[in-house]
C-alpha cells in the first residue's frame, strides 16, 4: 500500500501538507467549541447576566462552527482531488504497462485478472486513499487534542473516557475478528451459488434431456441453505454493532455526569467544565471509531495495492532495441533452429523449427491441438521471443528491429477474431486511419464480407458492439481478414482464421487472396486439411517438433503424422490414395 | 490452469454488490442503490407478498423497535433532571448524590432496555430477511428450469445470474435497513417532537427552525451527488469497457500498431472519470460537515435561546441539557428517512428485475397428459412439421419424413444453418407450430415432456460437466446405478483407461483446476449417455477440435452407442454421413434436402455442392 504512495509527486505532498494544515484548523474549531458551552453556562449563572452577553457567546460559537465546516469542506475537496488524481494516474500507468506486456506476461496474469486489477483494484485503492486522507489525519489529531483538554482539568474523567475507548475498540475489533472470516466464506459461497446456477444455465439442454431439474434444484438448495445460514449469522452479529455503540456513547455521557457530580461535590470540578467534557468525550469516541474502521478497511485495500504493484513491477520480456537496423529483403520469413519454452517450464513447446518462406509463397502449419502451431506464428510479430535460435523477417532478426517497424509489415488475423466497438469501417481501417472507401470495399470483397456488410443497417457505418457480439462468428472472422488485407502487408499471418467459415467461403477467400495479393507472403495455421492442401510448403508439428516439411503430395507419401491427420478428415479415396 | 486460479482469486476480491467500491465513500450517504424501478408500487407490492408469511415476526419486531425508540425519547428527560440536580452546584449548593444515583440507575435501565429491544428487533428482522432472500433465490433457481428455452434466446446467462445473486443481495441488504429505519425514524421524529413540546415550546420552535434548512440541504446535496455519482458510474463503465476490449484484443492492437490510439482514447475517458469521481467523492463527503453544521447551528441556537430563557427564569438548566440530546435525536431520523427512501428505490428496482423473471411465462402445464410408450421400437415420423423461432419467419416448412427403428439420421449443413433446431424439436425444447412428430405412432405433444426426453440419450458438442466427482458426472440424475454399470459404460466409451490414471479414479473431483481435454470431456458425456441407456439417441459429432487419436476413440464410442438405436447425428464426418440411412441437409435454418447419400448426390443439389467443395481434392 505504502509503496504506491511513492507515486505522490512533490506537488501532491504540498497539497497533503496543506490538507494537514486545514485539518488542524478544523480540529481547533471543533475542540474549542465545547469550551464556549461552559462559558454560556457560567454567564447564565453569573450575576448581571444579560441576553446580550449570551448572544455574543452564541455568535462566537456560530463562527467556530462555520469555520469548522469551511475547513472540512476544503479538506474534503483536497482529499477528493488527490485521491481521484492519484487513482487516475495509477490507472493510466497500469494500462500503459499492460499494453507493453508480451503474451508471456499476459498469460501469466491472465486477461481476466489484468482487467480486475486495473479496474476494481484501482477503485479499491482510491477509496482507501480517500479514507486515509480524510480520517487518518483528522482522527488522531482530534483524539489527542480533545484528550489533552480533558486531562488538563480532570484525570478521573480522562480515565472514564479511556475506559469507554477501550471498550469500543475491543468491541469493534472483536466483532470483525468474528465476522471477517465469515465475510470471506460468504464470498466463496456466493461464487459457489453463481457456479451452480451457471452450471444449470449453461447445461440447460442437458439438464432437461436427462430430466435432472430436481437434481439441480437440490444442489442449488444445498448452497442456498448454507449461504442463508452464514448470512444470518453475520447479520445477527453485525446487528449488535449499532445498539452497543449507542450504549457506549450514552453510557459515557451518563458516567461523566455521575462521576462529575461526585467531583463537583469534592470541589475539583465545576458544572460548566463538565458540560464541555461530555462533548469532548464524544469527539474522542468518534475519532477512535474512525481509526478502528480504518484499520479494518486498509488491509483489504492493501491486498488490491499489492496486486497492482505486481503489474507495475513485473519485467517486460519483449523489449525494443535502442536502434532498429534496416531490413534486407522483402516478404521473407525464416525460422533458424528455433526453440521455445515458457519461462520456468521444463519442456520446450517448440523445438528445432527451421524453414524459410520466400516472397509471395504460402507456408502452412498443421498439427493436432497443443502441438505448438499458434506459438510458432506468434514468434513472428514478437508476441513471444524465441528462447533459442532466430526468427528472421526480411533478412533480419526480429529482435533487432523496432516492433512498430516489424508490425508494419505484418497483416495478422488472430485465432479468436478480435473486433472493437465502433463501426464496420473503423474495424477494417484499424491501424490504417487514411484508408480510402475504395480500399475499404476492396478489402471487404476480398474477405467475402461485402455481402453481409451491405445487408447490415448502415452498411460500412453499421455499428459493431464490443467484441463483435452483434455479428456471427463467421462474419467476425471475415472482418478480421478484411482488416489484415486493408493493412496491405508484406506478410499475412492467419492463425487458424478460417475455422468459422463454411467450406465454400473458406475456398473463395483463399482464392481471392491468391489472386489479389500474389506478392504477399502467407503463414497459415489450420486444422482442416482442405484449407492448406495447396500451400507451397506445409510444416507438420507434433508435440512441438517439426515432423514433416513439404507439399501436400510429398507429405502424404512420407509423413505418417500428416497422413493420419488427412485420413481422419478425408477418406483415402478422396485423398487419391 | 494458473489462469483459473487467478480468476477465482479475482472474484474473491471483488465486492459482491453492484454498487461497487465507490458507493458513496465511507463518510458518504450510504450505498447508492442501482437504478430506479419503472413501477415502484407494483414491484413493492410483489415483494410485500413475500413478506406476508412472516407478518407476525415483522409486527413483533416493529413493536420491539417502537419500545426501543420510546426509551431513547424518554431518556433525555432524565438527563434533564440529572442536570438540574448537578446544576445546583453552579448556585453554590451541594449536589444530592443519592438523587443523582437514582436518576443514573434509571437511565442505565432505559439504555439497557433500549439495547436489548433494538437487538431483538435486528435479530428477528435478520431472520425474516434471510428467509425472504432464500425463498427468492430458490424460486429463481426453480424458475430457470420451467421457463421455455426460448427465454434464453433473448436473455444472457449473466443477466439471470445477476438476478440470483446481485439483485437478491440488494433486496436483502436494503429491505431490512429501509423498513426498520423508516419505521423507527418516523416514530422517533414524532416522539421527539412531542417530548420537545412537552418540555419547552420555546426551545422546540428554536430547534425546529433548523428543519427547513436541513431538509433543503439534504435535497440539494442528494440531487447533486446523485448526478455526479451517475456520471461517475458511466465513466467507470466506459473505462472498464475500454480496458476489457484492449486487454482481450492485445494481439491485434500490437500487430496493427494501435497502442497509441488506444492510449489516447484511454486518456480521454480516464480524465472524464477522474473529474466525475473527484466531484462525486467531494460531494458525498460534503454531507457530513454540512449536516453537522446544521446540527451545530441548532445546538448554538438552543444554547443561546435556552440561556436567555434561563436568565429570565422561565426554564431550568436541565431543560437545556435535554434539548442538546433532543437535537441530536431529531436530526438523525431526517437523514435516515432520506436515505431509506433512496434505499427503497433500489429495493424496488432490484425486485422489479427479480419479479420480471419470476413472472415469465412458464411452459404449459402437462399434468393432464398420460400417454407413455412402454416398450420403445424407435420409429420416428415427422408429419408436415412447421416451425418458427420468432413466430415471424418460418424456418421449417412442411417437413415430412419417416425414420425406421434403428436407423441413423445425419443432419448436415454449413455452420449456423440451424442444425440444432431438429434436436430442439425432437426433445421438445421448443414446441412445433404445425404438423406433428410421432414416436412409435404416439404424438410427442400428447406425452409429458419428461417422458419424451426419457426416450432419448443426448451427447452435445459443447460438453457439459459440472463440479463433482467423475462418478457424479457419469451417473448424473439417474438413480440406482451400480459401480459395475458405471465402469461398463466408461469402458464402452473408451474413457476407462484415462479414469484409471486419475489420482482418485472415479472419485476424482472435477473442478476448474483439473485439466481434462475436450476429447476426454466428450468421452465422459458419451459414458453418461451410455449409463442412461435410452432407446434413442441424439449426438453431436466433435469437429476438429480434438487430436486425431482421441477423435478415433470418440468415433468408436459413438459407433458403439448408436448400434441398434434410432439415432440423430449432427454429422461432420464423411463416413457418418455416407453411412446414414437418411441425410437431412439444412441451410439457413430450413431442411432443404432429405435422402440418402447417393440420392442426394445424383440430384445435384446443395448437398452435392457442399460435398464437392468440402471434400474434393482439386486445388483452389
pLDDT of residue A504: 77
What is the three-class DSSP state of B47? Answer: helix
pTM of the model: 0.73
Q: Which residues of B touch A243 (CB under 8 A)?
A: 114-115, 118-119, 122
pLDDT of residue A63: 92
Taking CA atoms, what residue in B is nearest to A534? Answer: B619
Using CB atoms and an 8 Å cut-off, which of residues 302-321 of chain A contact chain B? Answer: 303-304, 307
Q: Which residues of B touch A87 (CB under 8 A)?
A: 274, 277
CATH superfamily, domain B380-615, is P-loop containing nucleotide triphosphate hydrolases (3.40.50.300)
Chain B nearest C-alpha distance from A235 (Å): 6
Q: Which residues of B touch A106 (CB under 8 A)?
A: 247, 250
Question: Is residue B497 over pLDDT 50?
Answer: yes
Contact criterion met (CB < 8 Å) for A503 and B297? no
Please report, for chain A, the start and end positions of each structural domain, with discontinuous segments joined by +: 1-141, 322-362+372-409+492-554, 417-488
Q: Which residue(s) pair with B108 in the sheet?
A: none
**Residue A217: all three cell numbers together:** 434444484
Helices and strands (H and E) in chain A: how many: 22, 12
What is the three-class DSSP state of A541? Answer: strand
Q: Which residues of chain A have pLDDT under 50?
A: none
Q: Which of B492, B503, B495, B592 is nearest to B533 (CA)?
A: B492
**Residue B589: all three cell numbers together:** 435454418
Q: What distance in Å separates the CA atoms of residue A576 and residue A556, rounded to the nearest whole number?
A: 10
- Quickly name the fold that domain A1-141 has: ABC transporter transmembrane region fold (1.20.1560)
* Closest Cβ–Cβ partner in B100, B308, B620 for A511: B620
Render pLDDT for B209-257 as a digit per residue (tens, 0 to 9). Answer: 877 887 788 788 777 777 887 888 888 888 888 888 888 888 888 888 8
Q: Give the confidence band of B28 by pLDDT, cuts at 50, 70, 90.
A: very low
Please report, for chain B, the start and end positions of each structural domain, with discontinuous segments joined by +: 38-358, 380-615
Burial class (CB in 10 A: 0-12, 13-18, 19+), B223: exposed
Using CB atoms and an 8 Å cut-off, which of residues 363-392 of chain A contact chain B? Answer: 368-370, 378, 381, 383
Q: With an 8 Å Cβ cutoff, is A458 touching chain B?
A: no
Using CB atoms and an 8 Å cut-off, which of residues 59-88 of chain A contact chain B? Answer: 61-62, 65-66, 68-69, 72-73, 76-77, 79-81, 83-85, 87-88
CATH superfamily, domain A417-488, is P-loop containing nucleotide triphosphate hydrolases (3.40.50.300)
Question: Is residue B25 over pLDDT 50?
Answer: no
Chain A nearest C-alpha distance from B43 (Å): 23
Q: Which of A267, A283, A293, A329 is nearest to A68 (CA)?
A: A283
Contact criterion met (CB < 8 Å) for A224 and B134? yes
ipTM for the complex shown:
0.80
Q: What distance in Å separates the CA atoms of residue B303 and residue A53, rounded to the nearest whole number?
A: 12
Q: What distance in Å separates the CA atoms of residue A390 and residue A339, rounded to the nearest whole number?
A: 9
Contact criterion met (CB < 8 Å) for B544 and A33? no
Q: Which of A224, A466, A440 is nearest to B132 (CA)?
A: A224
Question: Is residue B515 over pLDDT 80?
Answer: no
Taking CA atoms, what residue in B is nearest to A474? Answer: B415
A182: CB partners within 8 A, 6+ apart = A230, A233, A234, A237
Render pLDDT for B566-592 as a digit per residue (tens, 0 to 9). Answer: 999 887 766 677 788 899 888 777 788
Helix extents (H) in B249-316 = 250-255, 259-312
Contact criterion met (CB < 8 Å) for B251 and A418? yes
Q: Which residues of B touch A272 (CB under 8 A)?
A: 90
Q: What distance in Å separates the CA atoms of residue A257 and residue A34, rounded to the nearest whole number?
A: 16
pLDDT of residue A341: 86
pLDDT of residue A15: 92
Q: What distance in Å separates the CA atoms of residue B103 and residue B109, rounded to the nearest whole number?
A: 10
pLDDT of residue B131: 92
Calculate the CA A219 to chain-centre distance. Answer: 32
Q: Which of B207, B342, B237, B350 is nearest to B287 (CA)?
A: B342
- Quickly name the fold that domain A322-362+372-409+492-554 has: Rossmann fold (3.40.50)
Contact criterion met (CB < 8 Å) for B3 and A107? yes
Q: Which of A244, A249, A255, A248 is nearest to A159 (CA)?
A: A255
Question: Is residue B375 over pLDDT 70?
Answer: yes
**b/e for A453-467, b at 16 or more Cβ within 10 A?**
beebeeebebebebb
Q: With an 8 Å Cβ cutoff, is A56 touching chain B?
A: no
For the four alpha carbons of B479, B485, B487 and B491, in that order, the dihedral sign comes to negative
pLDDT of residue B16: 34
For the four alpha carbons of B404, B405, B408 and B411, in that order, the dihedral sign comes to positive
Q: Are B528 and B476 in contact (CB under 8 A)?
A: yes
Q: Which of A339, A482, A490 is nearest to A407 (CA)?
A: A490
Least confident of A19-28, B454-463, B606-615: B606-615
Contact criterion met (CB < 8 Å) for B250 and A106? yes
Using CB atoms and an 8 Å cut-off, which of residues 137-176 of chain A contact chain B? Answer: none
Q: Which residues of A touch B372 (CB under 8 A)?
A: none
**b/e for A378-391, b at 16 or more Cβ within 10 A?**
bbbbbbbbbbebbb
Cα B360 to Cα A203, B47, B355: the distances in Å are 20, 16, 8
Report the first-to-last Cα separation within chain A, whole angstroms: 68
Mean of all residue pLDDT scores within chain B:
80
Q: With an 8 Å Cβ cutoff, is A202 touching chain B?
A: yes
pLDDT of residue B416: 60
Question: One fold for both A1-141 and A322-362+372-409+492-554?
Answer: no
Q: Which of A203-207, A569-573, B34-38, B176-180 has the highest mean pLDDT?
A: A203-207
Counting residues of chain B whose pLDDT is more than 90, the rounded percentage is 10
Q: Which of A431, A374, A356, A358 is nearest to A103 (CA)?
A: A374
The architecture in CATH of the region B38-358 reads Up-down Bundle (1.20)
* CA contacts within 13 A on the Cβ side of A8: 19
Chain A nearest C-alpha distance from B298 (Å): 10
Question: Which residue has better confidence, B417 or B428?
Answer: B428
Render pLDDT for B444-453 as a digit per residue (tens, 0 to 9). Answer: 888 888 888 8
Q: Give the confidence band of B35 by pLDDT, cuts at 50, 70, 90.
A: low
Q: Give the confidence band of B508 by pLDDT, cuts at 50, 70, 90.
A: confident
User: DSSP character for B458?
Assistant: E
pLDDT of residue B334: 77
Using CB atoms and an 8 Å cut-off, which of residues 316-355 of chain A contact chain B? Answer: none
**Residue A127: all three cell numbers together:** 477509496
In this structure, what are the phi and psi dihedrals at residue A458, rounded to the nearest 5 degrees? 105, -5
Pick from A40, A42, A44 the residue to mutate for testing the B interface (most B CBs within 10 Å).
A44
Contact criterion met (CB < 8 Å) for A45 and B476? no
pLDDT of residue B7: 36
Contact criterion met (CB < 8 Å) for A293 and B164? no
Render pLDDT for A506-558 as a digit per residue (tens, 0 to 9). Answer: 888 888 988 888 889 999 998 778 788 888 999 998 888 899 999 998 998 88
Using CB atoms and an 8 Å cut-off, which of residues 15-54 of chain A contact chain B? Answer: 33, 37, 40-45, 49-51, 54
Taking CA atoms, what residue in A is nearest to B133? Answer: A228
pLDDT of residue A371: 77
pLDDT of residue B417: 67
Strands (E), B149-243: none
Pick from A12, A134, A204, A489 the residue to mutate for testing the B interface (most B CBs within 10 Å).
A204
Amino acid at each position: 500500500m505504502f509503496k504506491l504512495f511513492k507515486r505522490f509527486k512533490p506537488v501532491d505532498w504540498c497539497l497533503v501538507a496543506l490538507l494537514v494544515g486545514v485539518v488542524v484548523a478544523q480540529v481547533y474549531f471543533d475542540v474549542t467549541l465545547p469550551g464556549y458551552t461552559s462559558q454560556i453556562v457560567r454567564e447564565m449563572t453569573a450575576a448581571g447576566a444579560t441576553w446580550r452577553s449570551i448572544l455574543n457567546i452564541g455568535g462566537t460559537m456560530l463562527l467556530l462552527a462555520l469555520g469548522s465546516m469551511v475547513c472540512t469542506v476544503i479538506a474534503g475537496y483536497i482529499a477528493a482531488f488527490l485521491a481521484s488524481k492519484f487513482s487516475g494516474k495509477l490507472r493510466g500507468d497500469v494500462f500503459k504497462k499492460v499494453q507493453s506486456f508480451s503474451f508471456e506476461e499476459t498469460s501469466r496474469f491472465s486477461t481476466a485478472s489484468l482487467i480486475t486489477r486495473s479496474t476494481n483494484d484501482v477503485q479499491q485503492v482510491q477509496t482507501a486513499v480517500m479514507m486515509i486522507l480524510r480520517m487518518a489525519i483528522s482522527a488522531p489529531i482530534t483524539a489527542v487534542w480533545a484528550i489533552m483538554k480533558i486531562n488538563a482539568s480532570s484525570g478521573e474523567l480522562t480515565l472514564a473516557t479511556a475506559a469507554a475507548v477501550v471498550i469500543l475498540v475491543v468491541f469493534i475489533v472483536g466483532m470483525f475478528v468474528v465476522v471477517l472470516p465469515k465475510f470471506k466464506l460468504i464470498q466463496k459461497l456466493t461464487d459457489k451459488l453463481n457456479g451452480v446456477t451457471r452450471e444449470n444455465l449453461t447445461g440447460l439442454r442437458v439438464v432437461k434431456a436427462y430430466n435432472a431439474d430436481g437434481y439441480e434444484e437440490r444442489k442449488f438448495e444445498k448452497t442456498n441453505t448454507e449461504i442463508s445460514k452464514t448470512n444470518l449469522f453475520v447479520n445477527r452479529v453485525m446487528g449488535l454493532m449499532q445498539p452497543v455503540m449507542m450504549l457506549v456513547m450514552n453510557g459515557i455521557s451518563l458516567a461523566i455526569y455521575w462521576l462529575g457530580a461526585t467531583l463537583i461535590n469534592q470541589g475539583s470540578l465545576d458544572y460548566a467544565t463538565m458540560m464541555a467534557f461530555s462533548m469532548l468525550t464524544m469527539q474522542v469516541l468518534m475519532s477512535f471509531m474512525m481509526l478502528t474502521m480504518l484499520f479494518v478497511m486498509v488491509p483489504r485495500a492493501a491486498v488490491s495495492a499489492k496486486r497492482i504493484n505486481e503489474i507495475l513491477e513485473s519485467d517486460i520480456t519483449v523489449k525494443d532495441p535502442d536502434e532498429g537496423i534496416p531490413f534486407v529483403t522483402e516478404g521473407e520469413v525464416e525460422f533458424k533452429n528455433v526453440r521455445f519454452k515458457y519461462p520456468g517450464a521444463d519442456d520446450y513447446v517448440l523445438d528445432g523449427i527451421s524453414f524459410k518462406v520466400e516472397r509471395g509463397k504460402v507456408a502452412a502449419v498443421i498439427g493436432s491441438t497443443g502441438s505448438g502451431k499458434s506459438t510458432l506464428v506468434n514468434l513472428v510479430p514478437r508476441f513471444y521471443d524465441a528462447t533459442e535460435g532466430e526468427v528472421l523477417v526480411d533478412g533480419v532478426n526480429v529482435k533487432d528491429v523496432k516492433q512498430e517497424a516489424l508490425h508494419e509489415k505484418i497483416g495478422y488475423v488472430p485465432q479468436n477474431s478480435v473486433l472493437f466497438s465502433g463501426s464496420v469501417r473503423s474495424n477494417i481501417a484499424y491501424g490504417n486511419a487514411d484508408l480510402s472507401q475504395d480500399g475499404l470495399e476492396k478489402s471487404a470483397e476480398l474477405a467475402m464480407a461485402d455481402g453481409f456488410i451491405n445487408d447490415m443497417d448502415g452498411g460500412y457505418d453499421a455499428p459493431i458492439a464490443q467484441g463483435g457480439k452483434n455479428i456471427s462468428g463467421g462474419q467476425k472472422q471475415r472482418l478480421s481478414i478484411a482488416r489484415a488485407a486493408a493493412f496491405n502487408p508484406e506478410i499475412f499471418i492467419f492463425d487458424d482464421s478460417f475455422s468459422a467459415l463454411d467450406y465454400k467461403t473458406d475456398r473463395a477467400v483463399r482464392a481471392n487472396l491468391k489472386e489479389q495479393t500474389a506478392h504477399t507472403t502467407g503463414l497459415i495455421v489450420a486444422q482442416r486439411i482442405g484449407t492448406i492442401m495447396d500451400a507451397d510448403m506445409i510444416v507438420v508439428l507434433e508435440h512441438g517438433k517439426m515432423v514433416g516439411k513439404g507439399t501436400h503430395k510429398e507429405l502424404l507419401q512420407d509423413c505418417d503424422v500428416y497422413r493420419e491427420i488427412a485420413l481422419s478428415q478425408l477418406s483415402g479415396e478422396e485423398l487419391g490414395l | 490452469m494458473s489462469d483459473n486460479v487467478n480468476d477465482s482469486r479475482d472474484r474473491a476480491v471483488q465486492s459482491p454488490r453492484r454498487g461497487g467500491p465507490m458507493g458513496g465513500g465511507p463518510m458518504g450517504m450510504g450505498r447508492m442503490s442501482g437504478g430506479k424501478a419503472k413501477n415502484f408500487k407494483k414491484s413493492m407490492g410483489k415483494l410485500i407478498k413475500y413478506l406476508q408469511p412472516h407478518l407476525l415476526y415483522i409486527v413483533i419486531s416493529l413493536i420491539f423497535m417502537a419500545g426501543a425508540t420510546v426509551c431513547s425519547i424518554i431518556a433525555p428527560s432524565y438527563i434533564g433532571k440529572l442536570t438540574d440536580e448537578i446544576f445546583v452546584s453552579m448556585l453554590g449548593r451541594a449536589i444530592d448524590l443519592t438523587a443523582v444515583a437514582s436518576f443514573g440507575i434509571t437511565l442505565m435501565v432505559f439504555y439497557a432496555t433500549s439495547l436489548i429491544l433494538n437487538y431483538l428487533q435486528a435479530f428477528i428482522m435478520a431472520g425474516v430477511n434471510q428467509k425472504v432472500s432464500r425463498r427468492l433465490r430458490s424460486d429463481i433457481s426453480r424458475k430457470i428450469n420451467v421457463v421455455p428455452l426460448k427465454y434464453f434466446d433473448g436473455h444472457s446467462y449473466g443477466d439471470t445470474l445477476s438476478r440470483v445473486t446481485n439483485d437478491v443481495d440488494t433486496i436483502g441488504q436494503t429491505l431490512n435497513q429501509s423498513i426498520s429505519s423508516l419505521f423507527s425514524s418516523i416514530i422517533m421524529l414524532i416522539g421527539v417532537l412531542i417530548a420537545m413540546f412537552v418540555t419547552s415550546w420555546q426551545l422546540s420552535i428554536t430547534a425546529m427552525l433548523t428543519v427547513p434548512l436541513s431538509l433543503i440541504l439534504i435535497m440539494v446535496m442528494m440531487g447533486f451527488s446523485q448526478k455526479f455519482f451517475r456520471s461517475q458510474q458511466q465513466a467507470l463503465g466506459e473505462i472498464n469497457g475500454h480496458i476489457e476490449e484492449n486487454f482481450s484484443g492485445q494481439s491485434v492492437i500490437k500487430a496493427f500498431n494501435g497502442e497509441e490510439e488506444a492510449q489516447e482514447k484511454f486518456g480521454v475517458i480516464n480524465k472524464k472519470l477522474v473529474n466525475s469521481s473527484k466531484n462525486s467523492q467531494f460531494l458525498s463527503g460534503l454531507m457530513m460537515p454540512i449536516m453537522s453544521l446544521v446540527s451545530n447551528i441548532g445546538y448554538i441556537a438552543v444554547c443561546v435561546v435556552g440561556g436567555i430563557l434561563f436568565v429570565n427564569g422561565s426554564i431550568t438548566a436541565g431543560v437545556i441539557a435535554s434539548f442538546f440530546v433532543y437535537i441530536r435525536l431529531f436530526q438523525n431520523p431526517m437523514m435516515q428517512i432520506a436515505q431509506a427512501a433512496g434505499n427503497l428505490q433500489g429495493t424496488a428496482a432490484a425486485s422489479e428485475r427479480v419479479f420480471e423473471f419470476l413472472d415469465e411465462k412458464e411452459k404449459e402445464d402437462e399434468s393432464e397428459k398420460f400417454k407413455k410408450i412402454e416398450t420403445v421400437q424407435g420409429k420416428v415420423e415427422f408429419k408436415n412439421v412447421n416451425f418458427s423461432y420468432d413466430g415471424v419467419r418460418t424456418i421449417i416448412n412442411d417437413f415430412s419424413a419417416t425414420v425406421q427403428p434403428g436407423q441413423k439420421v445425419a443432419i448436415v449443413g454449413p455452420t449456423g444453418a440451424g442444425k440444432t433446431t431438429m434436436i430442439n424439436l425432437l426433445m421438445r425444447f421448443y414446441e412445433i407450430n404445425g404438423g406433428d412428430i410421432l414416436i412409435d405412432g404416439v404424438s410427442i405433444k400428447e406425452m409429458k415432456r419428461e417422458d419424451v426426453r426419457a426416450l432419448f440419450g443426448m451427447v452435445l458438442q459443447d460438453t457439459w460437466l459440472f463440479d463433482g466427482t467423475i462418478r457424479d458426472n457419469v451417473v448424473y440424475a439417474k438413480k440406482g446405478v451400480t459401480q459395475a454399470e458405471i465402469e461398463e459404460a466408461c469402458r464402452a466409451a473408451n474413457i476407462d483407461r484415462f479414469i484409471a490414471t486419475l489420482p482418485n479414479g472415479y472419485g476424482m473431483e472435477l473442478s476448474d483446476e483439473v485439466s481434462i481435454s475436450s476429447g476426454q470431456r466428450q468421452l465422459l458425456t458419451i459414458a453418461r449417455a451410455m449409463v442412461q441407456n435410452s432407446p434413442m439417441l441424439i449426438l453431436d459429432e466433435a469437429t476438429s477440435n480434438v487430436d486425431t487419436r482421441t477423435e478415433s476413440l470418440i468415433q468408436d464410442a459413438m459407433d458403439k452407442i448408436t448400434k441398434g438405436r434410432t439415432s440423430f447425428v449432427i454429422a461432420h464426418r464423411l463416413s457418418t454421413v455416407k453411412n446414414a440411412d437418411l441425410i437431412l441437409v439444412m441451410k439457413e435454418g430450413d431442411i432443404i434436402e432429405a435422402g440418402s447419400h447417393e440420392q442426394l448426390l445424383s440430384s445435384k443439389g446443395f448437398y452435392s455442392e457442399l460435398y464437392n467443395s468440402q471434400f474434393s481434392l482439386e486445388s483452389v
